[in-house]
Chains A and B, each alone.
Chain A
Amino acid sequence: MSEVSGATAPVIGEEALDRLVGRGLIVVTGKGGVGKSALAAAIARALARRGRRTLTLEVDPRENLHQLFDVPPSGGQAVTVMPGLLLQNLKPQQVVDWVVRRQVKIEMLVKRVLDSPIYHRFVEGAPGLKEMAILGHALRLLRGETPGIDAVDTVVLDAPATGHGIYLLTASRLFADAIGEGPFADMAREVAELTADAERTGLVVVTLAEEMPVQESLELREALEEQFGRSPELLVINGVYPPVPEAATATGGDADELLDLWRHRRQVNERELNRLEQTWSGPRLVLPLEPVDRGAELVARLERGLEERPVNGTEALLP
């Protein structure tokens, strides 16, 4: 790989996790199919190992993070993955219900409201409300305001795919700006303060070294800078084919085809890694394609990559 002048000085050797370890909220996002959930799980494990009491928050109603942790499904409760690491699958409606309960103290009226189809449509239909509720829940977890769960140091959010990911961050601020008063406005304001604070909130973007996901990551970055005045803390380039060793020897037939495919896929990766090196001014971490596609074994390998691989620098191009 030839030397390419990057947009920033490389931070060779600086561990990716150092950038994240002090923060309260870590939002992990990326295009569908790039390994976002597995990476969120790996980050959460690594932070828990560093002594941070961590909760992984999943908002996809079809639970799958528990499979990556090899624990039973959360079903809305916080389940222990290992000492210092929890997993919770959150239905945003739960949070909105909680606000209702706190405001309306009369049980009969609470039930009337919560059972009302109008209320459900409101929660479903009101733009921005669910997104705000997700982050509001994260905030309560950090403060130890969630019944049955002791305060955590870090919430790792397995956020919706990119387009919705940026919206997740902007919704509460827009909500706070647009809405002046009331309990939701208060929650939105607090959430907006949290997400705007680079000391407290970190954003991790996950991509593959392929054209479409890289393009989407660049667009996400641009939108973040424009709307938030800040950039992601870390870009993880996942699933990169290893370079083909120069000593590789083709012996004809299938071996030729194997090498040919390998070289081409690696070329696609290198092209996109070069593009990122020139356009992405900020920490990038390259993780190799692993011969395992799910479960705790995948998470363990990603975690090792997070711990061991250098950030930036041209050697990052060589897994």
Chain B
Amino acid sequence: MKRTDFTLKPSLIAMLAAATLLTACGDDNDDDTAVVVTPPAPVMQTFAVTVTNLTANQPMSPVILASHASDAMLWNTGEMASEALEKLAEGGDTADIAALSVIESSINGTGLLMPGMSETLTLTLDEADVASISLATMLVNTNDAFTGINSYTIAGMEVDATTAMKIMAYDAGTEANSEAKGTMPGPADGGEGFNASRDDVDFVHIHPGVISMYDGLADSVLGASHRFDNPVLAVTIMRTE
């Protein structure tokens, strides 16, 4: 019985407090004057991001272009890759990156970005949300090579302003670069994409390049044309409106 009393008391206090709050609210409403506020029309900014695959024979998985706050990073060199980045780097899957809580909005390329080809992605953002963008894509004839831009600030870009950059290939460090049959999802192999096990150095770094079967890696299914050197991707960012 005593125990029940003890549990009742706090809840009674809570109910009384709630009643007091409600009363207070009611008083406030009586004093309010009806004001119709028209929210200002959102001012939009549009950015055209053009990517070009600079490799000889490394198709790139459909690009993800994402906008986010300036302190968000998709990866940090020398540190472990997130699982979302691992899925992108090993299998070209962008769903987990798009679902990251730090990502405000994202769009995808229409398909594989083939060697030598370009694609323009258009991102329209509310002016209030314009901060930084990131972009990522896998080099599909590799175990876990990827490239992209990592938290580039677009705030303050004028209309018609253009920024061009050339970017290197990174190694997610999550899958050994065996180049072996069945381990790479691209057309050179048709093998496995993401695998949750991590059997490499487990930090993001600059990719050392592929060796290929013609340069001493006995089990490699890759040939000379699958090798690459930096830079592997050209990116142009233009604010169009």
Verify that A and B bind, or say they do not.
Answer: no
